Structure 1
Amino acid sequence: MNIEKKWYVVYSKPRWEKKLYAKLLEAGIEAYCPLNKVKKKWSDRMKTVEVPLFTSYVFVKILENQKSKVRETPGVVNFVYEEGKPAVIREKEIEKIQRFLEEYQNVEVVPSEFHKGQIVKVNEGLFVDEEGKVIDTHNNKVRVVIKSLGYDLVAEFDKSKLSIGK
């Protein structure tokens, strides 16, 4: 049996990244929520705030037998899957993200380019966790066909709200 902890990614409920991170730590689960320092302007001042680098993603370092404990944590939607199994993230990748955020502020995450015919997964909004097929891309928008109730629903999404599907 493998007793080595591995890094995985879990989807959080929308805007729950920081809350989920705290709940995972409370449950004794090693977790990482990369936070980006961003300058926000209010009418009377500028302020640096920390916002999650990856929308709806929190990283967990766990043993294989801790997956159910993670799934049961309030705020967890599911693991991010790759080829039918929870995606394993290399330790080096986590370290790169940590070093990158130590060195830079106001970082922008730009998703991989999507192409026509590709299957994508919706990460936010009404269609969260639904998969569809890309029919067109333009600038920062992606038109996606989602099958529902025997119909083809065509919707336009910001690239930031999509990830590559199965």
Structure 2
Amino acid sequence: MNWYVVYTKPKWEKKVAERLNEIGVTSYCPLIAKMSQWSDRKKKVNVPLFNSYIFVQLEEKDRNRIFEAPGVVRYLFWLGKPAVVKNTEIEAIQNWLSAPETYEVSIDGWKKGDTIVLESGPFVSQSAVIKEVKQNHYVLILESLGCVLKVNKKEI
């Protein structure tokens, strides 16, 4: 089964994911903890990682089932077809969100342009290209995920 990207009404991501799960459609709404402040208090709340987007896993023939849930707007399309997300990409998001805040990375004198494979952390086994080497950090490009990662150097 494929994972598809679904566009929802603003601020409806969690409700839509919950409703889709209730009707038997596997859905995933990645959440991150964020500190919110009101006039009288601060509170840690879980907010969607991607505003107005969730992921659903279903067969091609069942694609219209998602419209049974209120708050669903449409599928996200890429090159005229519904955008398909690979299982490895969903797993990478899940691993990244479940990883600890800090982790150790061994640095072996990397240089700009080097290609490496990450050995620990949420992006373990991902290939990366060194974009920048600074005094305090490295900037890596994870081409397979289409993102940039900043790795702080550990003080010796």
- SS state at 1:60 partner: strand
Query: 1:44, CA displacement in angstroms?
Result: 4.5
- SS state at 2:7 partner: strand
- SS state at 1:48 partner: strand
- The question of 1:61 aligning with 2:57 is answered yes
Instruction: Find the counterpart in structure 2 of residue 74 from structure 1.
Output: 70
Instruction: Find the counterpart in structure 1 of residue 97 from structure 2.
Output: 101
Q: Deviations over 1:22-53 (max 9, x none)?
A: 11001100000000111223445432100011
Mark the structure with the bigger radius of gyration. Answer: 2
How many Å separate the matches in 2 of 1:39 and 1:93?
27
Contiguous gaps of at least 5 residues in structure 2: 102-156
Matched AA of 2:99: E
- SS state at 1:98 partner: helix
Identity of aligned residues (%): 49
Q: Calculate the TM-score normalised by the size of structure 2.
A: 0.61
1:9 corresponds, among 5, 28, 42, to 5
Query: 1:104, CA displacement in angstroms?
Result: 5.8
2:47 corresponds, among 43, 48, 51, to 51
Query: Kindly tell me: are residues 43 and 32 of structure 1, through their superposed partners in 2, closer, same or farther at Cα, counting changes over 3 Å?
Result: same
Matched AA of 1:64: E
Matched AA of 1:80: L
- SS state at 2:64 partner: helix
Query: 1:59, CA displacement in angstroms?
Result: 0.2
- SS state at 1:36 partner: strand
Query: 1:103, CA displacement in angstroms?
Result: 2.1
The aligned length equals 101
Contiguous gaps of at least 5 residues in structure 1: 106-166
RMSD over aligned CA atoms reads 1.5
How many Å separate the matches in 2 of 1:101 and 1:59?
15
- SS state at 1:95 partner: helix
Instruction: Find the counterpart in structure 2 of residue 129 from structure 1.
Output: none
Q: Which runs of structure 2 are paired with 1:81-92 in the superposition (5 Å)?
A: 81-92=77-88
Query: 1:73, CA displacement in angstroms?
Result: 2.3
